Amino acid sequence: MNWLKQWLQRNRTQPPGVRPGGPKAAAPMNMPPRRTWLTFLIVILINYFLMRLLFPGPDAPIAVPYTFFKEQVAKAIAWAKLIKKYKGRVFTLGPNQVDRSNFDFSSHKENIVSTLNEVSKAVSDQGITPVLHQHTGTCVETRDETYATLDAIDTRYLKFGPDVGQLTKGGADALKVVKDYLPLVQHMHLKDFDGKDEHLLGYCPLGKGKVDVPAILDLMTGRKISGMVMVELDNDPKDISPVPPKNLAAESQVYLKSIGVRFRV
């Protein structure tokens, strides 16, 4: 019976569920102490805030270096003085060109508005009227961007100088934009757009496109403005239209005469 006693003793020393000669049971897992977990969480939080600082989200404003900002203001003052020297009255303030494929206006709005306000005040101090000139391919192109900018700027200094052709190309109803901000309009580029002629970047002589030229001119009739309503037609410098500029201008002139516009000789 000694063999039975030895067998029983040997099996009592085995961990539950393990047969004699089978694989050894895994050692029980030890959980890290509470202090280790706290340190781990702190490291994660530090990493999160560091990444937010170094790589802000798409809605975060983009900081503009102060020295660059002041350089732009100084340039604007120099140009304003030059305009004044040659009896000019209006400073057309055009936004900078951007890559529209990945441009997020909301991320830049704060900088756009603050820069426009600072520059327009500096220009106004020179006795010149600055006007916002929205433009395709820039940071202020669409109807919503134009409205958001005009609603946020300091209109004591900065006025509006719309390009009705650019507004139309950017998808806006040019007539409505001009009507909505008519009290601010102190200058205008009168241009038409039909999206056809690549040489003219989609623009065309007045009366041949989508812009309601007569209705816009009716809004401007009798208004005293610092600048003027000037006829304009773009031409692609890399692929100029075969039609001479003089002929293109003559087409717009004929149209304007046909709707009752008189020209000074």
Find the domain containing 235 and state its range. Answer: 192-265
φ, ψ of residue 55 to 5 degrees: the values are -130, 80
217, 152: one domain? no
67, 144: one domain? yes
Q: Is residue 213 part of a domain?
A: yes
Residue 239 has pLDDT above 70, yes or no: yes
Rounded CA separation 21/204 (Å): 94
Q: Is residue 196 part of a domain?
A: yes
- Other CB atoms within a 10 A radius of the CB of residue 48 amount to 10
Number of domains in the chain: 2
The predicted model scores a pTM of 0.73
Residue 212 has pLDDT above 60, yes or no: yes
Residue 176 has pLDDT above 80, yes or no: yes
Q: Is residue 178 part of a domain?
A: no
What is residue 48's predicted lDDT score, i.e. its pLDDT? 46
101, 153: one domain? yes
141, 203: one domain? no
Q: Is residue 242 part of a domain?
A: yes
What is residue 100's predicted lDDT score, i.e. its pLDDT? 85
- Supply the DSSP symbol for 243: S
List, as one string, the DSSP characters of 63-91: P--HHHHHHHHHHHHHHHHHHHHTT--EE
Mean pLDDT of all residues belonging to the chain: 82
Lowest mean pLDDT among 136-140, 237-241, 247-251: 136-140
Q: Is residue 175 part of a domain?
A: no
CATH number at residue 94: 3.20.20.150
Q: Is residue 5 part of a domain?
A: no
144, 196: one domain? no
144, 227: one domain? no
145, 74: one domain? yes
- Supply the DSSP symbol for 160: E
Residue 62 has pLDDT above 60, yes or no: no
Task: Judge whether 95 and 72 are in contact, CB under 8 Å.
Answer: no
The pLDDT of 31-39, averaged and rounded, is 60
Residue 186 has pLDDT above 80, yes or no: yes
Q: Is residue 171 part of a domain?
A: no
What is residue 137's predicted lDDT score, i.e. its pLDDT? 84
